[in-house]
Amino acid sequence: MRAFLRLFDLDTSDPELIRAQFSSFQGHIPLLYGILVCNTVAITVTSFNSEQLVKTLFAPIAISGIAIIRAIWWLRQGDARKLSDTEIAKHLKRTCQLAVLMTLVFNAWVIWVYQDANAFARSNLTFFLALSQVSSVFCLMTLRAAAMLVAVVSTISFALYFSWVEGGQLLPQSLVLCCVCIGMAVVTHSFNRSFSEVVQSRRTLHIRQLETEKLSEENRRIAFSDPLSGLPNRRELLARLDRLDERKGLPPNSLAIVFIDLDGFKQINDEHGHHAGDELIRTVCQRLRAQCPDEAILARVGGDEFTVLLETEGPAENAQTAAVDLALRLLEQMSLPVLVDRHVLQISGSIGIASNSDAQAHPRELLRRADIAMYHAKTEGKAQLAIYSDELDKGRLRRIEIEGQIGTGLGRDEFEVVYQPIVEAASGAITSAEALLRWPRRKQGVLSPDEFIEVAEATGQIHPLGLYVLERACREIQPLGELCLSVNVSPAQFQQPGFERQVLSILHQTGFPPHRLQLEMTESYLLTNPGQAVKATDVLKAAGISLALDDFGTGFTSIHYLKSYGFTHIKIDKSLLSGLEPDSKATMLVAGAVTLATALDMKVIAEGVEHETQARILRDIGCHAMQGFLFGKPASLAQLERGLERAGKQQRQARRLRMVR
């Protein structure tokens, strides 16, 4: 029973469904009232009686007037989206009430007219009454409650009256109408359920569409943003640059790109783990974002690379000037220490800047130029900024050319190893030789070591070059008695996995005694990779290899570093020998270095000795060994051997003279 009664309830719990019903009614209700007016007019024409004007004229006019007013009201509703859910529910409830009321009024009027009508008019009345009932139900079908109420009310009123009037002659018609009512109720219920399902399907489809759009937007966000920092990534930056390029006619000096590369980030990742590296990146991003103007676009385009896209307006604002001011602030921020898991991490940044100062500098080209300028800043010592110029591009092309030639040169045996003697300060005897790399057989002409060594270190080619020097020098020096060998090791070589094993393997293959080998390294590797450096030096020292700290006096090496890494020698840089005269400040500095090294059980080698005065002072202050043009320039193995022979003869003659005396 409850289920049956629910068929007549107006359910307003689904806002989307009642909106759909309201939209449907906007077309159906005016049609319903139009049919009602037509039926009323037809009944009036067939049943008009001048003696009964109230019944046959004024009553139908009133019914038609109400129907026309309601039809006009529905036609004027317009867009249902402007109405609230509450207003729509209120209108539908009123429609249900008016539908029942209009049905009762229309049926009552027809029955009233029927009583005094002739036989012809009565047949028309029953026809139009049934027609009005059926059309009303079908026009109200999308609103189940209204359709069911109209069907029941009209059928009951029809059946109750016409089943007994005229002696029950219209009873068959009443029964047929009841059957029709039941059929309409079934059809109405089925249609309303299908209508609800269509609305539900449309809602489900809309929800899925929204979910798809949300997923699409999320995919776009993932595709165009960096997951760690939340910044735009390289793809998004390139897309923005392309959109700028499409604008055409960008004013000169209105666009600039600041390219940032973090110095020392890889070492932090290796030593402290990726978690520390991620935290460092997040902190750096926050600092960079805080310094960038609101209109600037900060993007993370690589693991430790960032860009800032600056666009200025009007000729009064210069993008390059703004970029330089911003870069200086960013350098200051990146130099500040970062605390991660109770570890104080220190990095710096190298920055390149490029602006659209010429017609060829389209947005994507600016990115390339800023990258080149950044690379130049990094090669100049890091923690610096550089502004792009055509000369940097030429230098880049030159480096690329040399990079390709290095690999070819190794394959063609174009390189040569030369040796510079190192003499004992007291006796002047050659005790060691430093192996130096030269490129004499280069197809394009001789290239100085400063040029190709820099390129090799930047590209990682220094590792095969360094192993080539070590292997060849060990083979060539091995037969020369107890002559020791000194070989420079680049910081980039120490960063290669298994470097120590490769050194020991070369010694084993060449038969070179480890105690005759000395490896020279600079302090830059020790400062940036202290943990890895200790492991490497411990392995080398355990094998009997000596370690020398090169370029001593030009950096910041502390006594702690000298003690920690177990150096056996320090090499005083030639820049400290400038102005080396008796009682000079330079002499006092070198004497202090010698005293310090002696206290730490290290020997001192002075390099760059060119004058006898320098040699005499170095001997007097206790320097152990010397190296420089005064004792011999870098020369071939044959020349080194001849020098050793001459030195041997001189020593033998000196011993004979002492014996004679």
Higher pLDDT, 567 or 185: 567
The residue type of 535 is: K
Start-to-end CA distance of the chain, whole Å, equals 142
When pLDDT is cut at 50, 70 and 90, the band that residue 564 belongs to is low
pLDDT, tens digit (0-9, with 9 covering 90-100), for 72-85: 887 777 676 777 77
pLDDT of residue 507 exceeding 90: yes
- Local confidence band at 386 (pLDDT 50, 70, 90 cut-offs): very high
Examine the pLDDT at 34 and tell me if it is beyond 70: yes
Asked whether 219 and 327 are in contact (CB, 8 A), the reply is no
Distance CA 142, CA 651 (A): 121
Distance separating alpha carbons of residues 15 and 29, to the nearest angstrom = 20
- Which segment, 190-194, 390-394, 647-651, is predicted with the most confidence on average? 390-394
**What DSSP character marks residue 577?**
G
Euclidean distance between CA atoms 231 and 221, whole angstroms: 10
Segment 605-612 mean pLDDT: 90
Per-residue pLDDT, averaged over 491-499, amounts to 78
pLDDT higher than threshold 90 for residue 469: yes
pLDDT for position 518: 94
**pLDDT, average across residues 284-293:** 92
Q: What is the pLDDT of residue 290?
A: 92
pLDDT at 50: 78
The CA distance from 291 to 284, in Å, is 11
Written as one letter, the residue type at 571 is K
Instruction: State residue 10's pLDDT score.
Output: 60
Domains of the chain are: 2-207 (no CATH), 234-388 (3.30.70.270), 412-660 (3.20.20.450)
| Confidence at residue 561, expressed as pLDDT on a 0 to 100 scale | 64
Instruction: Report residue 442's pLDDT band, with 50, 70 and 90 as the boundaries.
Output: confident
Burial 313-322 (b: 16+ CB within 10 A, else e): eeeeebbbeb
Residue 9 DSSP SS3: coil
**30 vs 457: CA distance, rounded Å:** 87
571, two tokens = 């090499």
Question: Is residue 38 packed enough to be buried (19+ CB in 10 Å), middle (13-18) or exposed (0-12)?
Answer: middle
Please state the rounded mean pLDDT for residues 562-573. Answer: 79
Quick one: pLDDT at residue 354? 93
Q: What pLDDT score does 485 carry?
A: 95
In a 13 Å sphere around the CA of 128, the CA atoms on its Cβ side amount to 26
DSSP string, 125-138: HHHHHHHHHHHHHH
pLDDT of residue 186: 67
Amino acid 47: pLDDT: 80
CA atoms within 13 A on the CB side of 463: 13
pLDDT for the residue numbered 529: 60
**Higher confidence at residue 54 or residue 27?**
54
Single-letter amino acid code for the residue at 252: P
Q: Which of 159-168, 339-348, 389-398 is least confident?
A: 159-168
The 10s digit of each residue's pLDDT in 124-175 is 777 777 777 777 777 776 766 777 777 777 777 766 666 666 666 666 766 7
Asked whether the CA dihedral 182, 184, 187, 193 is positive or negative, the reply is: negative
Contacts 24+ apart (CB under 8 A), 160-166: 161/111, 162/126, 165/114
Residue 554, pLDDT score: 64
**Predicted pLDDT at 259:** 95
Alpha helices (H) along 600-627? 612-620
3-state helix, strand and coil shares in percent for the chain, rounded to the nearest 5: 60, 15, 25
Looking at the whole model, is its pTM more than 0.85?
A: no
Range from 115-119, 216-220, 387-391 that averages highest in pLDDT: 387-391
Tell me: pLDDT of 616 over 70: yes
What is the average per-residue pLDDT within 192-199? 70
The tokens for 639 are 């020349």
Query: Across all residues in the chain, what is the average pLDDT?
Result: 81
Amino acid type, 199: V
Mean pLDDT of 179-202: 70
Predicted pLDDT at 654 = 61
Model confidence at 257: pLDDT above 90: yes
Reported confidence tier of residue 189, pLDDT bands at 50, 70, 90? low
Note whether 452 and 503 are within 8 A (CB): no
Cβ contact 349:334 at 8 Å: yes
- Dist. CA 562–CA 599, nearest whole Å: 11
User: How far apart are alpha carbons 358 and 84 in whole angstroms?
Assistant: 59
Least confident range from 65-74, 252-261, 305-314, 460-469: namely 65-74
pLDDT at 555: 57
Name the pLDDT band for 599 (thresholds 50, 70, 90): confident
